[in-house]
Structure 1
Amino acid sequence: MSAITAPAKFSGARTAARTAIRVAWFAGALFWTAFAVLEGVNHGWLAVLAALAFFIAPDLTFLAGLRDARHTERGQLPARAVPFYNAAHRALVPFALMIAYAFGPITWAPIFAGLCGWLAHISFDRAFGYGLRTKDGFQRGRR
């Protein structure tokens, strides 16, 4: 086996693994979306509003770099917005807040619905190939 053909054999396995991971993220996205809808149905318009607001909110971090947007390449996020974007797009953050909510003294359904919407957003992003950003503002693993 030559050194030239070895990577070609493994690239198919890598592609299959990436596809499996994206399918898993998509299943998670459907789960969290359904959970947010269920919370809205069970707890009213305020829960629906919170779920929608938290579904949209992570992408509002783009506004932090709006001033520098004209100086970036296509697909690049301005460096000023990267820390905010990455913080808002880490699945561990809303998941940890869900655990704190479950064991904490506060029991207000719109909070949980919002966290479901936030996790749905992150899961959809990962399913469609959008991940965290490098310090330069590019998608990790895409360059």
Structure 2
Amino acid sequence: MNVRTTAAANTATTTGTAGAAVTAQATAGPATTGTDWEPGTTGGATPGKGARPRGRVWGWGTLAVLLTAFAIFESAKYGLPTTTAAVLFFLAPDLITRTTGTHSIAARIARNGWIPLAVMVFYAFGPIIWPPLFTAALAWETRIVIAQMLRRD
């Protein structure tokens, strides 16, 4: 008995003693169709325009929680001046955007995440020791991270 298998159709053709060809479905499983998952595809599920990747939301959300916890810790540790700085700089990007408009240079600077990050790095390795500055940068970065997390594409 001669058995020939074609991968595309997932069928086997058997030639018996009488020479008649018999085609049967392979027992390995059902044939794959275009709706099954294939490497490099979304498996037929294409996200809509308002859909956000879950990894991005979880990543930004985790960073927001960590920055918030650290800002609260620093505020509680150093008292009222750091708490005041944290609250003011958390609200500053929104206040600046509302007063100057969304496309002004001041609003762009207020939404730039590199500035508070640079302040925190400089504070950590520089000669300045003033906790309200560091806590203000933490709160500012927290506000920017929350905005990134809630942003819709």
Task: Establish whether TM, by shorter chain, passes 0.5.
Answer: yes
SS, match of residue 11 in structure 1: coil
Distance 1:53 1:30 in 2: 19
Instruction: Specify every segment of 5 or more residues in structure 1 that has no aligned partner in the other structure, as ranges.
Output: 66-76, 131-140
Q: Deviations over 1:91-111 (max 9, x none)?
A: 221111111111111101111
Aligned counterpart for 1:94 among listed residues 116, 119, 131: 116
The structure with the largest strand share of the pair is 2
Ranked by relative contact order (alpha carbons within 8 Å, sequence separation 6 or more), the top structure is 1
The structure with the largest helix share of the pair is 1
Q: What is the count of residue pairs matched by the alignment?
A: 113
Q: Which has the larger radius of gyration?
A: 2
Q: Look up the equivalent residue of 2:93 and give its one-letter code.
A: P
Distance 2:42 2:58 in 1: 24
Shift of 1:60: 1.7
What residue in structure 2 maps to residue 64 of structure 1?
Answer: 100
- Give the TM-score of the pair, scaled to structure 1: 0.68
- The alpha-carbon distance between structure 1 residues 15 and 102, as it changes in their structure 2 partners (threshold 3 A), is same
What residue in structure 1 maps to residue 86 of structure 2?
Answer: 51
Pairwise mapping of residues 33-48 of structure 1 onto structure 2 (< 5 A)? Answer: 33-48=68-83
